[in-house]
């Protein structure tokens, strides 16, 4: 009987290594890293964060997708959503004839086109319990690239549900990872969750726990972010905290602390263990990139450029860290920089619409910080440095000679 579920790769890395190098490698980034993460070109100095770009989970997901096309070259291959939140990577997969399946107007994936003979790749964010079951029922080959850090969060919320604790998840209710994480509680009868986006929402939950927020108001506010049949009077008696892996770590920890304090006031310290659980489920790669950018902005910088998809949670959080300290430009890729007009298209922190800014690069000697989200390949980082240098008429060719 044919094996139809794969999580550990196909052992074809040698076969795809050349394509991965061509599509994502950067000699320039290698040179900057080898030079202490610093590069001077003319009167511009670039400082690259110590940790940046592709993390292990993203590397694995992309490699596994490439291996899948090599393993099953003659089969139709589908991808549920996006492999990661990076337009360049997803464009490369489309060029390899991977067909994307997105949620419809009803919020559900339509798997009607998928046949038993097809291959379906599950993204690094994972999929919901329900979508996984639907695909298994079709009998198609499933290639599961779900990140190990995400799986660790799933185990945590499963344990909460198993033991009768409601999962309070710090995340974005519309994000694929959070949808998948929340669905894990449905494996257990009576499993419950509520998703809080930020500290203000966490405080609303705390207010109800302590009797200061009405049941109706809470349900209205969180109508799209709770499990079916959620009853705050019953389901906030025992809670366990988890988070989307790419959230700001200090915010996740602060939210957990706020909820703990609230439960302590409600039930008392001696009984806290019967009502509250928490574990830090921020992934190490997210933490390392946030720590690295915090260290970088301690240096005097004239501008900070953050590279990555506009729908990438970990990238937007890197930009949010930098913005209060230095002029920050979150760009989707190097094409957002126009050397001819010296302009930049970027997404200002906290907004939804890209804007264009002229003369963003300071005149005279300038120091530019560079970082990238965990789903951004090195070649997009290298191209960004090249295009910024080109504004000053400087070529990087001599650096790579």
Catalytic site includes residue 177: yes
- Helix, strand, coil % (nearest 5) of the chain? 45, 20, 40
Positive or negative CA dihedral for 181, 184, 285, 12? negative
d(CA 294, CA 19): 34
Residue 103: burial class (beta carbons within 10 Å; 0-12, 13-18, 19+) = middle
Pairing state between β 44-48 and 38-41: antiparallel
Residue 392: burial class (beta carbons within 10 Å; 0-12, 13-18, 19+) = middle
Residue 245, number of CB atoms within 10 A of its CB? 28
d(CA 69, CA 119): 9
DSSP of 147-213: -HHHHHHHHHHHHHHHTTPEEEEES-TTSHHHHHHHHGGGGSTT--EEEE-SHHHHHHHHHHHTT-S
One of 177, 201, 332, 386 is an active-site residue; which one?
177
Report the candidate in 3, 219, 34, 206 with the shortest Cα–Cα distance to residue 119. Answer: 3
Q: Are 342 and 361 in contact (CB under 8 A)?
A: yes
Q: Are 210 and 137 in contact (CB under 8 A)?
A: no
Q: Are 323 and 292 in contact (CB under 8 A)?
A: no
Q: Are 204 and 213 in contact (CB under 8 A)?
A: yes
Q: Are 377 and 30 in contact (CB under 8 A)?
A: no
d(CA 294, CA 321): 7
- Looking at the chain, the number of H-run helices and the number of E-run strands are 15, 17
* Residues labelled catalytic: 177
């Amino acid at each position: 009987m044919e094996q139809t579920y794969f999580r550990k790769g196909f052992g074809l890395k040698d076969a795809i290594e050349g394509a991965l190098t061509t599509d994502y490698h950067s000699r320039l980034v290698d040179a900057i890293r080898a030079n202490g993460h610093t590069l001077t070109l003319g009167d511009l100095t670039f400082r690259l964060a110590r940790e940046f770009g592709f993390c292990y989970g993203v590397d694995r997901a992309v490699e596994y997708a490439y291996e899948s096309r090599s393993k099953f070259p003659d089969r139709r291959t589908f991808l549920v959503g996006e492999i990661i939140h990076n337009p360049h990577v997803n464009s490369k997969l489309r060029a390899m004839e991977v067909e994307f399946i997105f949620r419809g107007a009803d919020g559900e994936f339509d798997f009607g086109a998928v046949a038993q003979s097809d291959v379906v790749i599950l993204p690094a964010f994972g999929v919901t319990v329900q979508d996984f079951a639907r695909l298994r029922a079709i009998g198609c080959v499933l290639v599961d690239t779900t990140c190990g850090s995400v799986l660790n969060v799933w185990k945590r919320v499963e344990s909460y549900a198993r033991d009768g604790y409601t999962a309070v998840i710090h995340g974005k209710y519309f994000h694929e990872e959070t949808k998948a994480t929340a669905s894990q509680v449905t494996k257990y009868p009576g499993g419950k969750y509520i998703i809080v986006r930020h500290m203000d929402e966490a405080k609303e939950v705390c207010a109800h726990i302590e009797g200061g927020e009405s049941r109706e108001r809470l349900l209205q506010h969180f109508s799209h972010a709770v499990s079916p049949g959620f009853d705050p009077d019953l389901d906030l008696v025992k809670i366990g905290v988890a988070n989307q892996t790419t959230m700001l770590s200090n915010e996740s920890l602060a939210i957990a602390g706020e909820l703990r304090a609230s439960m302590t006031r409600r039930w008392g310290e001696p009984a806290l263990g019967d009502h509250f659980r928490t574990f830090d489920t921020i992934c190490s790669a997210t933490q390392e990139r946030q720590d690295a950018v915090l260290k970088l902005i301690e240096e005097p910088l004239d501008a900070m450029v953050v590279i990555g998809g506009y729908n990438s949670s970990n990238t937007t959080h890197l930009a949010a860290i930098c913005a209060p300290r230095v002029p920050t430009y979150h760009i989707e890729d190097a094409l957002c920089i126009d050397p001819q007009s010296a302009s930049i298209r970027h997404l200002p922190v906290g907004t939804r619409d890209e804007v264009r800014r002229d003369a963003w690069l300071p005149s005279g000697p300038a120091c530019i910080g560079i970082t990238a989200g965990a789903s951004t390949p090195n070649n997009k980082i290298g191209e960004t440095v090249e295009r910024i240098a080109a504004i000053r008429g400087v070529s990087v060719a001599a650096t790579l000679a």
